[in-house]
Structure 1
Amino acid sequence: MDRICYRKLRRYKYQAMEEYRVQIDIQPEKDLTFKYMSLSKEGLLTVREGYAWDGPSGPTIDTPNFMRGSLIHDVLYQMMRLSALDHKKYRKRADEILREMCIEDGMSAFRAWYVYQAVRIFGERAAAPRPEPEIKKIIAP
């Protein structure tokens, strides 16, 4: 079974402590490369050490069998928000990958179905393109 290494944070819940790579069947027209994540034309998704994410969303418990799926799902949704991936074309597949990974990692099929239904119903806004919030840099004396 694949594994990820992460730690809890304050602003985000978790941060990847090691690079993680997984082959997926989302294959963009060109390589997508960002500081903490990349997706090749061949579908190799790389999450670099230091990537932060909020883990599973909604009324749920952050169980180990949910973490890898939530990481990959958050990365894909972030690429959609950045307009690197077309959310209308890839959102459903990203949601299916979440469900599949959760089942692979030991989640019950019923809970994975529930998770999938939740992201299908409530996830549109989270995947829709929008500018990333500006980071305010604070300088002390």
Structure 2
Amino acid sequence: MPCIAYNSGYKYQLKEPYAVTLEIRPVVPIDTDYVKLDGDGRLSLAKGYAWDGPSGPTIDTLSFMRASLVHDALYQLMREGHLDKARTRELADRILRRICLEDGMWSLRAWWVYQGVRLFADPAADPAARRPVQRAPKGCRA
């Protein structure tokens, strides 16, 4: 029986490509199916990129959506080994806070968001946290 292969855990999907220039500049450009990051810090996300939105005890507001998108993409690049977690994670968390503020989030909430990712998000950037490919229906052959 044929099966489908998928990853679970995503809530949102880009309907148009999105790009932004960041302070993270890899020595070697990163080019995956949905995420690209060049040496000038230009992060490009392809139409169809999926992410889980704001995480933790929070609500998904407009002032948090773009920041969660960029942050999730950067953490994905760390999980996949394209970016060094030890050198990149803190900067990715600061970028999250900056974009939240740019998009109108109250400064106290942005501070709280930043503290949350600093204290609790480390495992999400770990390569061991990669989402496994799942297959359906039960008993199907790849």
Give TM class, smaller chain. 0.7 to 0.9
Deviant stretches of 4+, over 6 Å? none
Distance in 1 between the 2:131 and 2:28 partners?
Answer: 21
Q: 1:80 aligns with which of 59, 78, 81?
A: 78
Bigger relative CO (Cα 8 Å, ≥ 6 apart): 2
* SS of residue matched to 2:104: coil
- In the alignment, the residues of structure 1 paired with residue 11 and residue 131 of structure 2 have an alpha-carbon distance, to the nearest angstrom, of 18
1:21 aligns to 2:19 (yes or no): yes
Say what the alpha-carbon RMSD is for the aligned residues.
1.6
Q: Secondary structure at the match of 1:136?
A: strand
8 Å contact from structure 1 (residues 15, 51) kept in 2 = yes
2:3 — aligned with what?
Answer: none
* Corresponding position of 1:7: none
Distance 2:30 2:61 in 1: 30
Query: How far did residue 128 of structure 1 move?
Result: 1.1
1:136 aligned onto 2:139: no
The farther-off stretch of 89-98 and 121-130 is 121-130
Per the alignment, in what secondary structure is the counterpart of residue 19 of structure 2? Answer: strand
Question: TM-score scaled by structure 2?
Answer: 0.87
Which residue identity does 1:45 align to in structure 2?
L
Pairing of 1:107-122 with structure 2 (within 5 A): 107-122=105-120
Over 3 Å counting, the alpha-carbon distance change for 1:103 and 1:36 in structure 2 is same
Stretches of structure 2 that go unaligned for 5 or more consecutive residues are 1-7
Q: Which moved more, 1:90-99 or 1:129-138?
A: 129-138
CA–CA distance in structure 2, aligned partners of residues 54 and 14 of structure 1: 6
- In the aligned structure 2, how far is the partner of 1:70 from the partner of 1:82? 18
For structure 1, the 5+ residue unaligned runs are 1-9
Please list, as runs of the form range in 1=range in 2, the aligned pairs for 1:1-141 lying within 5 A after superposition.
Answer: 11-130=9-128, 131-136=130-135, 138=137
Q: For residues 108 and 76 of structure 2, what CA distance do their matches in structure 1 show?
A: 26
Shift of 1:12: 1.4
Normalising by structure 1, what TM-score? 0.88
Secondary structure of the corresponding residue to residue 62 of structure 1? coil
Kindly state the Cα deviation for residue 42 of structure 1 after the two structures are TM-superposed.
1.1
Size of the alignment, in residue pairs?
A: 131
Which of the pair has more CA radius of gyration? 2
Cα distance, 1:136 vs structure 2: 2.2
